[in-house]
Amino acid sequence: MNINPPPDYNITGQDFNRREHLRYSGPPIIDIHAHVTMTNPIEKAVGTSSGAGIARVSNAAETMLATVAEFGIGRTYSMCPPQDIVPLRERFGQAIAFNGPISKKPDESDDAAYRNLELFLEAGVEIVKLWAAPRGRDRGLLLDTPWRIEALKRARSAGIRVVMAHVGDPDIWWSHTYKDVGKFGTKPDQYLPLRKMLALFPDMTWIGAHMGGDPEHPDHLEKLLEEFPNFHFDTSATKWQVREVSRRCDTVRTLVCRYPDRFLFGSDLVTGHMHVREHYVSRYWCQRTLWESSWTGPGPIYDPDYEPGQEEGPLLMLRGLDLPGEVLEKVYSGNARRILRLV
């Protein structure tokens, strides 16, 4: 008798080698949102943003990027510390590109954020990221804080034209993590600074991480798309999207098909030296299953945020959107190539 619990990455025993339902055969997929870093504790990043360190690239990065290729992904945009960029680029070449998260600690001056930006610019990032989840408020990580506005102006002057922003979190988190709305604000409150920034920088292309942080409300996403023609969404955060997009698959499918130029594939997958290959496989299998197939069945990844609603069973159901081929090609590849001016 096997008394070991199933792994979190496959609680249903799904055979991830069964991929006949993954029908996409267009240009290589671009993952616009991932976190490939130097994570192996005995292989720390070496060098600087202008130095080399190819011999010390993390085993976790090797495992993740091998899995990426297996699922047809030709380029992955990673958020990582600036000192990781050169060794990762030297090892993986065109298979990896970079997104620079602009941040600073609460006790640091604004100059720390500007130095952070300069390191990323020197390393050749193509995107900058503004992380402004509600849980960052007590650390001063507001989306429209003056130092972020100034940093974005400097990035724009340096030639950066694409900004990624994380503003919302799952609805259910307001029942526990964000119960104190006096401290964290309501979920709608998170979008007020976003609207301000979209209006302040209309000449930059914006990507709302994790389906804009609001896959629970496709009607809200549509209003943002209608009002701000420079705004796009990525599909990252696999558990969140599988849970909430599957619950309203027909509505989300209609939305993506109505605005096929405004969605980009993303995973939010993070390297970790503790992760086995199947951990990475599970995320890419679920992401591609969700968007390109009509597959329906219990979601294989354990999701602590799943609470059964009316007429829902104990297991979360993954319901594929089966996007049309021409739409899928834009979401998987074409939109990123256009926005980032890739050949």
In a domain, 136, yes or no: no
Contact 45, 86 (CB under 8 A): no
Quote the tokens at residue 56. Answer: 């010390």
Nearest one of 74, 67, 80 to 31, comparing CA atoms: 74
Helix axis angle, 59-70 to 277-292, nearest 10°: 30
Q: Which residues contact 84 (CB under 8 A, 6 or more apart)?
A: 37, 38, 45
Q: Is residue 221 part of a domain?
A: yes
Which CATH number belongs to the domain containing residue 67 in this structure? 3.20.20
Residue with tokens 């995320």: 283
pTM over 0.75: yes
What is the rounded end-to-end Cα distance, in angstroms, of the chain? 55
Residue 233, classed as helix, strand or coil, is: strand
Q: Where are the beta strands (DSSP E) in 59-215?
A: 73-79, 96-101, 127-131, 162-166, 205-208
Query: How far, in Å, CA of 329 to CA of 324, rounded?
Result: 9
Q: CA 112 to CA 29: how far, in whole Å?
A: 35
Question: Residue 41's pLDDT is what?
Answer: 55
Rg (CA), the chain: 20
Question: DSSP states of 73-111 as a string?
Answer: EEEEEEE--HHHHHHHHHHHGGGEEEEEE----TTS-HH
- Contact (CB, 8 A) for 259 and 231: no
- DSSP, collapsed to helix, strand or coil, labels residue 262 as coil
Assess if residue 35 is contained within a domain: yes
Residues 6+ apart with CB under 8 A from 59: 40, 43, 273
125 domain-assigned: no
Inside any domain, residue 15? no
pLDDT in tens, 227-273: 999 999 999 999 999 999 999 999 999 999 999 999 999 999 999 88
178 domain residue, yes or no: no
Pairing of strands 205-208, 317-319: unpaired
Number of domains forming the structure of the chain: 1
List the domain range (segments joined by +) for residue 286.
29-106+205-340
pLDDT at 54: 46
What is the pLDDT tens value at each position of the chain, 343 positions in all?
567 899 999 999 999 999 999 999 999 999 999 999 986 555 444 333 333 444 446 789 999 999 999 999 999 999 999 999 999 999 999 999 999 999 999 999 999 999 999 999 999 999 999 999 999 999 999 999 999 999 999 999 999 999 999 999 999 999 999 999 999 999 999 999 999 999 999 999 999 999 999 999 999 999 999 999 999 999 999 999 999 999 999 999 999 999 999 999 999 999 988 899 999 999 999 999 999 999 999 999 999 999 999 999 999 999 999 999 999 999 999 999 999 999 7
- The helix or strand, by DSSP H or E, that contains position 281, with its residue range, turns out to be helix 277-292
On whether residue 24 sits in a domain, the answer given is: no
Per-residue pLDDT of 62-100, as tens digits, reads 999 999 999 999 999 999 999 999 999 999 999 999 999
